[in-house]
Amino acid sequence: VPAQRLWPETVVAFPALCEQVSAILGAWGMSQNDVAVTTQHLLYADLHGIDSHGCGMLRHYHRGRQIGALRMDAQVTVVRDDGASLLLDGGGGLGHVPSARAMALAIERARNLGIAAVSVRHSGHFGAAGTYVAMAADAGMIGMATTNTGRPALVPTFGREAALGTNPIAFAAPTAHQPPFLLDMATTTVPVGRVMTAWRRGEVIPSGWALDERGDPVTDPGQGVRLRRLTPLGGSRSLGGHKGYGLATMVEILSAILPGLDRDVPKSHAAWRVGHFFLVINPARFRSEGVFQQDLDDLIDRLRSTTPLQASQPVQVAGDPERQAQRTRQMTGIPLPRSVLEDIRYVSREAGVPYLLESP
């Protein structure tokens, strides 16, 4: 498909998008409660400008369901509960429901015990990791979330081929007057979706995002998507790429090795199965009530008042770009490229629900 066919974008109202996604998930046989939780956490990404992790995933989920790799009636179970540490089983469905449950459990336990970790096995794509750590910050807690990702995309330092996923890390901490600190990052230089967006827009990608079979930089985004060989954060060895690779391995250990891999999954389903890790720390167990939040406000103030290189571009703090997107999109709607709208139209038709996003 030539890139220009997928562009420009159409702006869709957020409530309509919620309704459309809920209708599809309901028609797929998801329980009413799971539809609500999945829609909320899936569309967090669209609302916050993380376009690669939101409703653009629906066609992919549809395919997973078709081949029997994703159950829509998955039951989340508690495999083991030791108070401050729990292991959940996602039941082979999408990751949003088990992840929201895991984070809620971690928050509840950390409130009483100071810290808690919940690990989830046998789960699926959970959307943007930031949506779960935001739950922790909203509850006055420090939160961390990691997930492994199914298809290899990260080329280890000195390697020729991809061996790990884009394995994101999210971290949030509560504040008093500032918006929460919220870091949500792939451990590759950019996520796969960022290369796809460049392709869709007909842009060239910067040297350093993606590699070819000889380890040379790729600047054609189409080739970048096709080869799927992303650099770890840092890029080359001399600029610290081994650190991004190390962080991606840490995420693999916490998200896949700690809860346990699915060993008896058919090969065609393996890329759909992932695990997650959630950690919550209660700052009130370390500092007097509210003091952590005030000190974090001060740190954020100090960072924002760092002298900028250009007066027009002040220093930001993790979470700022997502909040800016949220403010705009909540008012004006979500810009969706043609390809995503066509995917949603197709998935709606297949699910037997009306397509609500554009007039015929």
Site for a copy of itself in 2-21 (CB under 8 A): none
For residue 234, state whether it binds a copy of itself (rule: CB under 8 A): yes
Binding-site member from 11, 78, 176, 239 for a copy of itself (CB under 8 A): 239
Quick note: the x/- pattern for a copy of itself over 76-115, rule CB under 8 A, is: ----x-xxxx-x-------------------------xxx
Binding-site member from 100, 116, 227, 340 for a copy of itself (CB under 8 A): 116
Residue number with CB closer to a copy of itself (70 or 116): 116
Q: Residues 164 to 223: which contact a copy of itself by CB under 8 A?
A: 164, 171, 173, 181, 183, 185, 189-190, 206, 208-209, 214-215
Contact 106, 278 (CB under 8 A): yes
Q: Residues 240 to 259: which contact a copy of itself by CB under 8 A?
A: 240, 242-247, 249-250, 252-254, 256-259
For residue 281, state whether it binds a copy of itself (rule: CB under 8 A): yes
Q: What's at 182, amino acid-wise? A: L
The site for a copy of itself, by CB under 8 A, has a size of 81
Residue number with CB closer to a copy of itself (36 or 284): 284
The CA distance from 274 to 129, in Å, is 13
The CA distance from 27 to 29, in Å, is 5
Q: Residues 118 to 147: which contact a copy of itself by CB under 8 A?
A: 119, 142
Strand partners, 232: 188
Burial class of residue 359, CB neighbours in 10 A (0-12, 13-18, 19+): exposed
Binding segment toward a copy of itself, per CB under 8 A, in 63-71, 195-203, 287-295, 352-360: 287-295
Beta strand 85-89 with 115-123: parallel, antiparallel or unpaired?
parallel
Residue number with CB closer to a copy of itself (83 or 352): 83
130-138 vs 32-47: helix crossing angle, rounded to 10: 100
* C-alpha distances out from residue 68 to 188, 272, 273, Å: 29, 10, 12
CB of 353 to a copy of itself, least distance (A): 38
For residue 265, state whether it binds a copy of itself (rule: CB under 8 A): no
For residue 343, state whether it binds a copy of itself (rule: CB under 8 A): no
Q: Provide the CB-side half-sphere exposure for 177 (13 A, CA).
A: 6
The CA distance from 219 to 275, in Å, is 32
Residue number with CB closer to a copy of itself (317 or 347): 317
- Beta-carbon neighbour count of residue 111 at 10 Å? 16
Residue number with CB closer to a copy of itself (43 or 254): 254
Q: What's at 77, amino acid-wise? A: T
Binding-site member from 10, 31, 40, 157 for a copy of itself (CB under 8 A): 157
Q: Residues 290 to 329: which contact a copy of itself by CB under 8 A?
A: 291-292, 295-296, 299, 302-303, 306-310, 313-318
**What's the Rg (C-alpha) of the chain?**
20
CB of 348 to a copy of itself, least distance (A): 36
Burial class of residue 79, CB neighbours in 10 A (0-12, 13-18, 19+): middle
Q: How far apart are the first and last CA of the chain?
A: 23
